[in-house]
Amino acid sequence: MPTPPENRELSPYTGWTRAHWEAAADELLLAVRPYASPRHGLIDLPGPRPSWSGIRSDGLEGYARTFLLAALRVAGARGDDPHGHLARYAVGLAAGTEAPGDDTDPDSWPRPTDVRQAIVESASVALGLRLTRPWLWDALDDRTRQRAADWLLPALDPSPVDNNWWLFGLTVAGFLQDAGIETDRAAATIDRSLDRIEQWYLGEGWYSDGDNRAFDHYNAWALHFYPVLHAHLAGDRALLDRHGPRLHAHLDAYTRLFDANGAPLPFGRSLTYRFAAAAAPWLGALTGHTPLTPGTTRRLASGALRYFLDRGAADSRGLLTLGWHGPYEPVLQSYSGPGSPYWASKGFLGLLLPAGHPAWTDPEQPLPAENADAVTPLPAPGLLVQSTAADGLVRLHNHGSNHVSSHQAGEDDSGYARHAYSTRTGPTSSPEAADNHFALLIDGKVTRRGPAVPLGAGPGWAASRHTPLPGVHVLSATLAHGRAEVRAHLVTGAPEGTAVRQTGWATTPGGPTAQLHPVHGYPQDAETVPLATGATLQGPDSRTAALHGTTHGPETLFVALASLTAEPDPAPVSTLAHVQVDGRTLRVTWQNGTTSQLALDPEDL
26 backbone φψ class: left, alpha, beta (φ>0; ψ -120 to 50) = alpha
Compute the distance between CA of residue 75 and CA of residue 25 in angstroms, rounded to an integer: 12
Residues in the chain with pLDDT < 50? Answer: 406-408
Q: How far is CA 3 from CA 22, 236, 350, in A?
A: 10, 39, 19
The pLDDT of residue 407 = 46
Q: Compute CA 264 distance to the chain's CA centroid, rounded to the nearest angstrom.
A: 8
* Sequence-distant (≥ 6) Cβ neighbours of residue 284 within 8 angstroms: 247, 248, 251, 290, 291, 292, 297
What secondary structure does DSSP assign to 323-368, as a single string? BSSSB-GGG--TT--TTGGGGGGGGGGGGGS-TTSHHHHSPP---H
Do 282 and 220 touch, CB atoms closer than 8 A?
Answer: no
Q: What type of residue is 526? A: A
Contact 491, 526 (CB under 8 A): no
Sign of the alpha-carbon dihedral angle for 352, 358, 362, 366: negative
Note the pTM of the prediction, 2 decimals: 0.96
Please give the backbone phi and psi of residue 92, each rounded to the nearest 5 degrees, phi first: -65, -35
